[in-house]
């Protein structure tokens, strides 16, 4: 699937202003700050749509260190949701089980080397909690594959992720124009957002189709065999 070329917010603002017909912030009903806010709202809104589809957009991985006698591991600052958590072993990585269970006791003796240690995990704030806790230290002992938050775009040049469908950019811009026109309609008492609402609905449908299925590898259903 083609990707974005990491457009800057300045570029997104220009395209938003082009649709609004007001190219200069000095002679406009909407400030750059206001339109930037609408663009960021769109990024956050449609990012959630992408993450629910779980087709790899915004997905990355990181290797995290295990600290002896410390049962928490700090997650990356851009962490949103985990797809999988692995424990490093001699010849690869072993997947760990997620278990959000605070109703049972747990052991504090979690093994003294990388191959004998196989904890389960859950989340506390922006940390992984390992149960049982480790009795050894290991650099890169935990590998996590996760969905990362998109960068919010601050006016002046931050870039947007290039890891998603090109329709993502179109939807964001149309959403910003739509919010700007809704505000205008509330102020003037005249509906000026209906046309862009129709465009947004069409682009949103294309966006849903584009992020739903990224692989065309044949799918097979395994027969149930009790």
H/E segment holding residue 200: helix 194-212
d(CA 198, CA 28): 24
Question: Which SS3 state, helix, strand or coil, does residue 179 take?
Answer: helix
Average pLDDT over residues 89-113: 83
Q: Higher model confidence: residue 105 or residue 134?
A: 134
**Given pLDDT bands bounded at 50, 70 and 90, which one contains residue 4?**
very low
Q: What's the confidence (pLDDT) of residue 198?
A: 95
Tell me the pLDDT tens digit for each residue of 181-212. 999 999 999 999 999 999 999 999 988 887 77
**Given pLDDT bands bounded at 50, 70 and 90, which one contains residue 3?**
very low
Q: What's the confidence (pLDDT) of residue 108?
A: 75
Nearest CA to 54 out of 214, 219, 221, 220 is that of 214
Q: What's the confidence (pLDDT) of residue 66?
A: 94
Mean pLDDT computed over every residue of the chain: 83
| pTM beyond 0.75, yes or no | no
Q: Higher model confidence: residue 54 or residue 10?
A: 10
Phi, psi of 10 (to 5 degrees): -55, -40
Average pLDDT over residues 37-56: 82
Q: What's the confidence (pLDDT) of residue 164?
A: 60
d(CA 85, CA 4): 29
Q: Higher model confidence: residue 133 or residue 159?
A: 133
Sheet holding 79-89, edge to edge: 59-66, 138-148, 79-89, 92-95
Predicted confidence (pLDDT) at residue 109 exceeds the cutoff of 80: no
Predicted confidence (pLDDT) at residue 216 exceeds the cutoff of 80: no
d(CA 158, CA 193): 28
- Domain residue limits, the chain: 9-56+152-212, 59-148
The region of weakest confidence among 89-93, 112-116, 122-126, 162-166 is: 162-166
Q: What's the confidence (pLDDT) of residue 74?
A: 96
Predicted confidence (pLDDT) at residue 2 exceeds the cutoff of 50: no
């Amino acid at each position: 699937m083609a990707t974005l070329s990491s457009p800057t917010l300045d570029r997104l603002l220009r395209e938003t202003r082009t649709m609004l017909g007001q190219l200069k912030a000095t002679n406009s009903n909407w400030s750059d700050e206001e339109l930037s806010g609408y663009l960021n709202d769109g990024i956050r809104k449609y990012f959630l749509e992408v993450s629910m589809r779980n087709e790899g957009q915004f997905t990355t991985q990181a290797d995290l260190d295990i600290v002896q006698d410390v049962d928490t591991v700090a997650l990356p600052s851009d962490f949103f949701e985990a797809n999988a958590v692995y424990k490093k072993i001699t010849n690869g990585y072993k997947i760990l089980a997620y278990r959000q269970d605070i109703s049972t006791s747990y052991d504090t003796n979690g093994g003294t080397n990388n191959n004998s240690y196989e904890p389960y995990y859950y989340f506390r704030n922006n940390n992984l909690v390992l149960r049982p806790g480790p009795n050894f230290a290991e650099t890169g002992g935990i590998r996590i594959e996760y969905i990362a938050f998109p960068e919010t775009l601050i006016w002046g040049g931050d870039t947007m992720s290039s890891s998603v469908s090109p329709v993502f950019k179109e939807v964001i811009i149309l959403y910003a124009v739509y919010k700007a026109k809704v505000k205008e309609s509330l102020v003037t008492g005249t509906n000026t957002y209906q046309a862009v609402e129709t465009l947004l609905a069409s682009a949103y449908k294309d966006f849903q189709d584009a992020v739903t299925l990224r692989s065309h590898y044949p799918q097979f259903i395994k027969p149930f065999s009790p």
